[in-house]
Homo-oligomer: A and B are copies of this chain.
Amino acid sequence: MLTSTPFPKSFASDNHAGVHPAVMAAVIEANTGDAPAYGGDRWTREMEDAFRAEFGDRATVYPMFNGTGANVVGLSLLLRPYDAVLCPVSAHINTSECGAPERLLGTKLVPLAAEDGKISVEDVRGQLSALGNVQHSQPRVVSISQATECGTCYTADEVAELAEFVHARGLLLHMDGARLANAAAGLGCSLRALTTDAGVDVLSFGGTKNGAMGAEAIVILNPELDASALFLRKQAMQLASKMRFVSVQLAALLAGELWRENAAQANAMARRLAEGVTGLPGVSLRYPVQSNSVFPALPEKAIAELQQRYLFHVWNAEERVVRWVTSFDTTAEHIDAFLADIRLAVQAATGA
């Protein structure tokens, strides 16, 4: 564990960053006297307007406390008791929510092999023979992450192809967009192009990793799925009483596309980092860098050396792959200093 003070720039996760000043300003501004609880306040209405402007007039939005909450409540809108969710084996819902979907929804997750975190129509098709067979959980939802946990992104066309395929078979498309902003910034398109327009039914919209203090949301893009959302959010312990302080964070990220500015900075820094390690001896990138994370394989000794001074996670110990994540406040200076240390560590490890 690192003990230096002040704490250095972390490459462990974009949730190690603090709060963007504009988000904090919005929180402070909302602290003016009383307001109805549970979303009956004017800030929440303004935030809802902003989401409709972004995602279309029929979109409804429900603030959530965290990403697991958004995913679980979002999926709960889509599932009958005997349904299964098809997802990449690397999906956050499958690997990093301590079994919340199974426990809280009682649903089966069917993990699909996914080289770079992405699944295709063919991966889904292979599971559909279960449909109608009472012995099997019924495939009902395909859940994809955008950007993926591997830092890769689906193009709008790829999302649309999945949506069209699953809708034609009576299934629904869920998107875990904890890093949707990074995907949209990376692809140079709108949030809507990757979601509403591509046929996503329910979206987990991520704010926390994009500069918020703690604010996620589900955005329901298929209006037929909205009826139970208020009850399911409340029951799932995701209803904030002083909701205005969550809503204003989301609104602040949408205002003037602050989300894009934040994500673009993080993405640019990830590219700078990736370019800086390209060509170093014993270093290779495991996945293409399409958002704000970099997954290099490094010499084992270099990993150990770097972890003395920097926070980051080992992604695959056996293959010596680590994960570096950048955030809205990662600067070129942070990257260049890190790169200098990386070069030294690799040099020492390889004798090159």
Residues on A lying within 8 angstroms of B by beta carbon are 6-10, 12-13, 15-19, 24, 27-28, 30-38, 65-69, 72, 76, 80-84, 95-100, 102-104, 106-109, 111, 129, 134-138, 208-209, 213-214, 228, 230-232, 234-242, 245-246, 311, 317
Contacts and interface: CB of A to CB of B under 8 A. Distances in A.
Given A65-B240, A68-B239, A134-B230, 12 more contacts: A9-B34, A16-B34, A18-B35, A19-B31, A19-B242, A97-B234, A98-B135, A98-B231, A102-B137, A138-B231, A214-B241, A214-B246
A13 B7 CA distance: 40
Contacts of A19: 31, 242, 245
Contacts of A230: 134
Given A9-B34, A16-B34, A18-B33, A102 B104 contact: no
The 6 closest A-B pairs by CB, nearest first: A99-B137, A103-B106, A15-B241, A82-B231, A69-B237, A99-B108
Nearest to A327: B34
A231 B235 CA distance: 20
Q: How many copies of the polypeptide does the oligomer hold?
A: 4
A144 to B, nearest CB: 20
B84 A99 contact: yes
B100 A235 contact: yes
B31 A6 contact: no
Contacts of A95: 135-136
Contact of A237 (B84, B106, B237): B237
Nearest to A314: B129
A238 B237 contact: yes
Contacts of A239: 66, 68, 134
Contacts of A214: 240-242, 245-246
9 contacts: A9-B33, A10-B34, A68-B234, A97-B237, A99-B235, A100-B234, A100-B237, A129-B317, A213-B245
